[in-house]
Structure 1
Amino acid sequence: MVTAAFVAEPIYVRASCAMAGVMARTDRERGVWKAPANVALIGVEGLASIDSANNTVSPIRIDDGINYQLVKDKINPIREFRGKGFLAWGARTAEDPIRPDWLYISVRRLFNAVERDLSQALRIAAFEPNNAITWERIRSALDIYLDGLWRKGALLGSAPQEAYFVRIGQGVTMTETDIKQGKLIVKLGMAAVRPAEFIELQFTQDMVS
């Protein structure tokens, strides 16, 4: 529920629309690899459930119990916290938790973004000689791109070789047959950063004897 300064009545906005704005702002301020969660929703005054059949609006509040059920049902809630306002409080996809590779929105969107960027970048190689000189140009360009992501904090690892790899070449990613058929194959891998979803505190107390 959003109240604009120039209207007397509140404007009801779907949660999906609000989250689209949260994602756009997070992308701009931090990067696509930052989970769009624990982020404040600007201009929101309350949460409401709308019954379109009966044309009624009911205020709602997401407590820990409801939050648990929503997460179990693969729904990321919006919650109100005292002194913090309304926060996006979840960053999971609809993937099954037993398959953690694509469990988080930020990981899925990072790989989507990299795939898009590199697909566009590799178009410059179209109709170039499929030889070692071209392969090295591509490997170097991809290395620079992925190194930039690592330095911005998008990838894990204390060194670039721990964060990603780029492989290209005959006998590495391509056979002689591939090359004769005009195929240029690049393989890369990334160690994506996952959000710290569960914060655990451990305390010890030394007893004085």
Structure 2
Amino acid sequence: AQAIAGRGPQGSINFNTASDRVRLCYPQVKVYDNATNQTHLEPLSAHAAGLRAKVDREKGFWWSSSNQALMGIVGVERPLSARIDDANSEVNLLNQNGITTVFNSFGSGLRLWGNRTAAWPTVTHLKNFENVRRTGDMINESIRHFSLQYIDRPISQGLIDALTESVNGYGRRLIADGALLGFHCWYDPANNTRDALSLGQLKLNYKYTPPPPMEHLTFETEITDEYLTILKSKVSS
């Protein structure tokens, strides 16, 4: 209750932020210390960061680290009710308020639980997913580092074509990897006026769609008598 009450502009703790660069984590986790033969508490955020790096390496930066096993911990600071099909369970209530937590239900083990940055629920755009925000950062930084080799070259049609094709090639690779659903880079003459070009300023546009994590899955069920018609005698006629 304290963690949820800390959200929003009137929050009494440092959870009162809507930054899409922040991931809020609660509660602390228990870690076993071989030296003392006891457990002690550590911030969940440190273990979430380590898990994020592990998921990056093993699956890709576009994967969510939610619903992945947390290694090196033996419990949580306080028990939280956890059901995948109950929106009112404590772990899901925390998620609804933009807080990442630990899911621990029968047979599940201790798993990181939560996809959103602190921007949620203030911001409902696709980019409030933590993995979508990180995918955007990776793409933006990669393109900027790549563009260094072209700085101060003469502006020409060949330069524009080389830049757009190289960036689109990068986008196609990300699509093939599963990191993106779509990508397009282009030169817009309306954004590149004669005055801007005469000052050595070239502008290219690009857009992309990262795949959001499947945060909710609903099955609709029906009991039907239609399959009674498959019954038949085992004795052939």
| Structure of greater Rg | 2
Alignment of 1:57-136 (within 5 A): 59-64=78-83, 65-97=89-121, 99-136=124-161
Q: How many equivalent pairs are there?
A: 192
Note if 1:180 corresponds to 2:198. Answer: yes
Alignment partner, residue 39 of structure 2 = 10
Distance in 2, matches of 1:164 and 1:7, equals 53
Sort the Cα spacing of 1:96 and 1:187 in 2 relative to 1 into closer, same or farther, 3 A: same
| SS of corresponding position for 1:21 | helix
| SS of corresponding position for 2:159 | helix
Distance in 1, matches of 2:45 and 2:202, equals 40
Q: Report the TM-score when normalising by structure 1.
A: 0.84
| SS of corresponding position for 2:42 | coil
Contact kept? 2:66, 2:114, Cα under 8 Å = yes
| SS of corresponding position for 1:3 | strand
Contact kept? 2:61, 2:134, Cα under 8 Å = yes
Q: How large is the RMSD of aligned CA atoms in angstroms?
A: 1.9
For 2:152, the aligned partner's letter is: F
Distance in 2, matches of 1:102 and 1:91, equals 11
Contact kept? 2:126, 2:212, Cα under 8 Å = no
Question: Which residues of structure 2 form unaligned runs of 5+?
Answer: 1-29, 84-88, 229-237
Alignment partner, residue 41 of structure 1 = 70
Note if 1:142 corresponds to 2:167. Answer: yes
- What is the CA-CA distance between 1:79 and the residue it aligns to? 1.5
Question: Which residues of structure 1 form unaligned runs of 5+?
Answer: 49-58, 157-162
Q: Alignment identity in percent?
A: 21
Contact kept? 2:94, 2:101, Cα under 8 Å = yes
| SS of corresponding position for 1:128 | coil
Q: Report the TM-score when normalising by structure 2.
A: 0.75
Alignment of 1:15-30 (within 5 A): 15-30=44-59
